[in-house]
Amino acid sequence: MFRPLKPYQIVVDVVLAGLFALIVAPVELSLAVTADTNALGTALITVLFAGALAVRRLSPGLSLGIAWVGAIVQMGFGRNPGPVDLAIFAVLFATAAYGSRLVFWLGFSSAIVGAGVITLYLFAGPVVVTGLDWSTITTAAAVLIAALFALLLAWTVGALVRTAIRARENRAAQQRAEQVTVAEQERVRIARDMHDVVAHSLTVVIAQADGARYASAADPAAVPAALETISATARSALADVRLLLTQLRHSQGDGPQPTLADLEGLYAQVRAAGVDLRVDVDPAPPGGPPAAAQLAVYRILQEALTNALRHGDGGAVEVRLAWLADRVELSVRNAMGTDAAPGAGHGVIGMRERAQLAGGSLTAEAADGVFVVRSVIPIGATA
């Protein structure tokens, strides 16, 4: 029933209502003396309409009810319309601008009914006394039309303000929703990057550590090389993680992203982990594929090779890249280990999302003990 208003808004409405009462009260009392009507009734009517003004924004429905009570009291004392009735226009405006759906239509109905009541109140007595003639009919019709126009005009202006308020609220809600969506997309992107970087780097570190442990007895000279690879991989992962954390703190700075030039470093890390990696690039990449395609290819290969390290049987891993005029086709094949669970983690989901964000597609499936990742990324005009 009551709308949430700020304290200063309530104070402003009450002060304006008080000023309205102070201004119209002397005029209404003067009219009451001239018309020889009850001064106490005039004061009561003024208080009622001032009260309707005071609560018009806080509770439009209550304000409309008080205004109707004031109008009934005014007719009960036999008083003609006066300056105090101007409050009715503000009340009708408030019902349309701030009222609930029910109050909105009650205000509209009150404007129509009020115009009819005003006309009947002003002309019912003269008609009873002098009878109905053409002059009285035309005058009553003119008064009805004028009252209807004035009351509905106040209500219509309030309805327009209501529409503007709703439009502003909808725009604000849409902007908030868009901001939430953008923030969520950014969190998903950073989480995906974090998964790609950390999963790949830790897999290489674990493979190197296990290899050094097994080879330490037979070939102690291999241990320093393994430790060097572990150190380099960890430093690279730490730098990538720091970059991602910087993006979390400063979302406007995306920072550099991996490109095709970084693929050789990725291959070197995998080979250093003891994997027989075979890379076939045919045809070679054009001179400057789109950055989005380069990033998608790098991240998909990074995750696919990580999966091969984690779930493969330790055999050869085959990578094939074909840079065509309108697309790049890539595939990664490796034999699965005995404990492999293809597609069980977030890796395949992340690769598929990468491909889709670049406008392409990706499939990952196991057949006859071989796990194959295939992806097609558009480049050029079609991307």
Domain-ending residue, one of 177, 211, 227: 177
Q: Which two tokens stand for residue 70?
A: 């004031």
Q: Which residue has the higher pLDDT, 336 or 165?
A: 165
Residue 279: count of CB within 10 angstroms of its CB: 15
Between CA 45 and CA 121 the distance in angstroms is 17
| Exposed/middle/buried for residue 51 (C-beta within 10 Å: 0-12, 13-18, 19+) | buried
Q: What secondary structure does DSSP assign to 204-260, as a single string?
A: HHHHHHHHHHHHTTT-TTHHHHHHHHHHHHHHHHHHHHHHHHHHHH-TT-------G
Chain centroid to CA 363: 33
Instruction: Tell whether the model's pLDDT for residue 344 goes beyond 70.
Output: no
Domain-ending residue, one of 149, 177, 205: 177
Both 13 and 156 in one domain: the answer is yes
Both 136 and 282 in one domain: the answer is no
Confidence of residue 252 (pLDDT cuts 50, 70, 90): very low
240 inside domain:
no
The whole-number pLDDT of residue 129 equals 64
Q: Which residue has the higher pLDDT, 209 or 83?
A: 83
CATH (domain of 290): 3.30.565.10
Both 173 and 279 in one domain: the answer is no
Q: Which residue has the higher pLDDT, 378 or 136?
A: 378
Q: Which domain holds residue 287?
A: 275-383
Instruction: Tell whether the model's pLDDT for residue 15 goes beyond 50.
Output: yes
CA distances from 79 to 70, 85, 261, 289 (A): 11, 11, 92, 86
Both 26 and 154 in one domain: the answer is yes
Q: Which two tokens stand for residue 301?
A: 């290969």
Q: Which residue has the higher pLDDT, 307 or 158?
A: 158
Q: Which tens digits make up the pLDDT trace of 66-92?
A: 999 999 998 888 888 888 999 999 999
Both 26 and 166 in one domain: the answer is yes
The whole-number pLDDT of residue 178 equals 83
Q: What secondary structure does DSSP assign to 339-354, as a single string?
A: T--TT-SSHHHHHHHH
Provide, rounded to the nearest whole percent, the portion of the chain with pLDDT above 70: 83
CA distances from 129 to 125, 126, 136, 141, 309 (A): 6, 5, 12, 19, 106
**Range 237-261 average pLDDT:** 63
The amino acid occupying position 101 is R
1 inside domain:
no
The amino acid occupying position 190 is I
Domain-ending residue, one of 177, 196, 220: 177
pTM above threshold 0.75: no
Both 291 and 144 in one domain: the answer is no
265 inside domain:
no
CB 300 within 8 A of CB 330: yes
Confidence of residue 289 (pLDDT cuts 50, 70, 90): confident
**Range 169-197 average pLDDT:** 76
Q: Quote the number of domains for the chain.
A: 2
Both 161 and 19 in one domain: the answer is yes
The whole-number pLDDT of residue 341 equals 61
222 inside domain:
no
246 inside domain:
no
257 inside domain:
no
| Exposed/middle/buried for residue 185 (C-beta within 10 Å: 0-12, 13-18, 19+) | exposed
- Please name every residue paired with 320 in a beta bridge, in sequence order, or none if there are none: 280, 331
Q: Which residue has the higher pLDDT, 199 or 135?
A: 135
Between CA 357 and CA 188 the distance in angstroms is 12
Confidence of residue 3 (pLDDT cuts 50, 70, 90): confident
**Range 25-39 average pLDDT:** 76
